Amino acid sequence: MNFNTKLLHDGVKKEPNGATFPPIFQSSAFAQESAEDLAGIFENKKMGYCYTRVANPTVSSFEERITKLEGGIGSVACASGMAALSMALLNILEAGDEIISSASLYGGSIDLFRDIEAFGIKTKYVKNNDWEEIEAAFNERTKVVFAETIGNPCLDVTDVDRLAKIAHSHGVPLIIDNTTATPYLIRVLDHGADIVVNSSSKYINGSSNSISGVLTDSGHFKWTKERYPVLGEYIKYGPFAYISKMRSGLYRNIGTCLSPFNAYLNVLGLETLGLRMDKQCSNALKLASWLQETYSDIQVNYPGLESSNWHTIANTILKNGYGAILTIRTGSKKRAFEIMNKLTIPYILSNIGDTKTLVVHPSSTISLHSTQKELEDAGVYDDLIRISVGIEDVEDIIEDFRNAIS
C-alpha cells in the first residue's frame, strides 16, 4: 500500500457492529468470565485486557496502526512524547550507563537527560553528523545512541543510515525521535534505526487536542544479557525482548498509559497525516523561499533551501518534502517579539504540527532552562522565531508576515 492508503487500511481491524472506526473503551478495568481467565491475563499466558494502565482496546488500535505505518514489530503508546522517550531509554538503561546524543535537541529532551543524571545515567553530547566526534564518544559504558531526524529548532538533518551503522558497529541501538519529520518524510526503521519515538501530540494528532507519545521497535537489534542485563529473562523472546520487557515492567509500573479518548483522537488525526504534511511542507517551502528573497536583514533556516547546511542530506534521506518548520533570525529579541505580536494568523504557543500556523520564541520558552552552550548547539538565539507552518492558504500566511514585518 502507498502512504495514504496505508493510513486508512493497514493494521486496521474490523470493529464490532460494522463500525468503521475504533470505539472508545473508556473503562479503567475489564471483567473476565472466570478467575482463571483473569489470572491468565496477569501471568501473560492469555490474551485479553484487565486494566487500562496495562493495555486498552482503543489504545491498542492506535498502536497497531502506528506499528504498520512505521514498519516495526510493536508499539507502545504513552501519555506524552516525553513519557515515550523516557520509556524508550529507561527500558534498557541502568546506573553507570551512558547515552551518546546529538547536541541539537529539543529543550525538553535536554531537561530529561539532565534529570536522569540523578539515577547515574550520563549523556555525552556530540555535534550531529560529526563522525569523528561521534566515534570518539564511545566507551564500554555506552548503551544507546540518540538523535532527532530533524532537530527542533535547529533543523539539522541527521544521516540516519550512517549513524545507525556506527552505533551497530559498537553493539548499541540507535533511537531516533522522528516527531518533526513523521513517517511521511522518512521511515527511520528502514534506514537502520532500532527504535523510533514520536510525540504524537504533534503531526500525528494534527489538531493540538491531546497530549500523547508513541514508540515503535523494529525488532532488528540483537539484545544480549551481557550488554543489557536489565532485559534479563526477556532476552528469550528474541526480537520481542524490548517490547515484552516494557509491557511487563516499566510501562505498567510507572503508569505512563495513554487515555482511551486521546488514543481515539490520535487515530482520527492519523488518517489525514499524509494530506496535512503534503500541504504543510509545501507551505513551509514557499514561506521560507519568500522570506529569504524578500528580506535581506532576516536570516531564514529551512532544510528545503539550497542555502541550508543540511539541504544535501535532506535531499538524500527525506521524501515528499523537507518538513513544516522553519526559523528566522530577526536581529534582536525586541524585533522578534514585535513581529510575533503583529501577526494575526499564527497562534503564539509552544507546539508544532497543528493544522494552524504557530510561532514561538524558543529561547524564552522551550529552551528556557538550557545553558548557553546548549542553546548554541541547538541553534537557539535570542532573536530566533520558530514557525510551525499550517494548512492555511499560503498566500494568506505570506501576506500576514509581510504586514507584521513592515
| Residue 389 and residue 351 in one domain | yes
pLDDT-derived band of residue 324, with 50, 70 and 90 as boundaries? very high
In the beta sheet, which residues pair with residue 78? 213, 257
* Structure-block grid coordinates of residue 283: 507551505
* Structure-block grid coordinates of residue 164: 545507525
Q: What pLDDT is recorded for position 16?
A: 81
pLDDT-derived band of residue 368, with 50, 70 and 90 as boundaries? confident
Supply the mean pLDDT for the chain. Answer: 96
Q: Which of 43-47, 182-186, 197-201 has the lowest mean pLDDT?
A: 43-47
Q: What pLDDT is recorded for position 14?
A: 81
| Residue 26 and residue 171 in one domain | yes
Q: Please say which residue of 269, 293, 324 terminates a domain.
A: 269
- CB distance 77 to 66 below 8 Å: yes
| Residue 149 and residue 166 in one domain | yes
Tens digits of per-residue pLDDT, 20-52? 899 999 999 999 999 999 999 998 889 999 999
Q: What pLDDT is recorded for position 261?
A: 97
pLDDT-derived band of residue 191, with 50, 70 and 90 as boundaries? very high
Percent of the chain residues past pLDDT 90, beyond the cut = 90
* 345-370 mean pLDDT: 94
Q: Please say which residue of 269, 295, 320 terminates a domain.
A: 269
Tens digits of per-residue pLDDT, 228-262? 999 999 999 999 999 999 999 999 999 999 999 99
- What is d(CA 78, CA 86) in angstroms, rounded to the nearest whole number? 10
* Structure-block grid coordinates of residue 15: 470493529
| Residue 159 and residue 64 in one domain | yes
Percent of the chain residues past pLDDT 70, beyond the cut = 100
| Residue 228 and residue 320 in one domain | no
The residue type of 115 is: D
Q: What pLDDT is recorded for position 270?
A: 96
**What is residue 232's DSSP assignment?**
G
| Residue 280 and residue 135 in one domain | no
CA angle 357, 361, 366 (to 5 degrees): 100
Q: Please say which residue of 269, 291, 317 terminates a domain.
A: 269
Q: What pLDDT is recorded for position 309?
A: 95
In the beta sheet, which residues pair with residue 98? 122, 142
* Structure-block grid coordinates of residue 124: 555525552
- What is d(CA 294, CA 285) in angstroms, rounded to the nearest whole number? 14
Query: What backbone torsions phi and psi does residue 150 show, to the nearest 5 degrees?
Result: -120, 115
| Residue 169 and residue 68 in one domain | yes
* Structure-block grid coordinates of residue 115: 534529570
C-alpha distances in angstroms, 1 versus 126, 191, 220, 306, 348?
Answer: 38, 19, 22, 32, 38
Q: Which helix (H) or strand (E) holds 358?
A: strand 358-360
Q: What pLDDT is recorded for position 241?
A: 97
- What is d(CA 377, CA 371) in angstroms, rounded to the nearest whole number? 10
CATH number at residue 334: 3.90.1150.10
- The separation between CA 361 and the C-alpha centre of its own chain, rounded to angstroms, equals 20
pLDDT-derived band of residue 11, with 50, 70 and 90 as boundaries? confident
Query: Residue 13 pLDDT more than 90?
Result: no
The residue type of 56 is: N
CATH number at residue 238: 3.40.640.10
- What is d(CA 86, CA 67) in angstroms, rounded to the nearest whole number? 19
| Residue 85 and residue 214 in one domain | yes
| Residue 264 and residue 280 in one domain | no
Structural domain for 236, as ranges? 3-269
What is the number of structural domains in the chain? Answer: 2
Tens digits of per-residue pLDDT, 109-154? 999 999 999 999 999 999 999 999 999 999 999 999 999 999 999 9
Contacts of 12 (CB under 8 A, 6+ apart): 61, 64, 65
- What is d(CA 118, CA 344) in angstroms, rounded to the nearest whole number? 44
- What is d(CA 212, CA 39) in angstroms, rounded to the nearest whole number? 30
Query: What backbone torsions phi and psi does residue 379 show, to the nearest 5 degrees?
Result: 70, 35
Q: What pLDDT is recorded for position 44?
A: 83
| Residue 208 and residue 95 in one domain | yes
| Residue 153 and residue 284 in one domain | no
- CB distance 95 to 355 below 8 Å: no
| Residue 227 and residue 320 in one domain | no
Strand order in the sheet with 347-348: 299-301, 325-329, 384-388, 358-360, 347-348
- What is d(CA 116, CA 95) in angstroms, rounded to the nearest whole number? 9
Tens digits of per-residue pLDDT, 70-119? 999 999 999 999 999 999 999 999 999 999 999 999 989 999 999 999 99
pTM, two decimal places: 0.95
pLDDT-derived band of residue 158, with 50, 70 and 90 as boundaries? very high
Q: What pLDDT is recorded for position 213?
A: 98
The backbone region for 21, taken as left when phi is positive above 0, alpha when psi lies in -120 to 50, beta otherwise, is beta
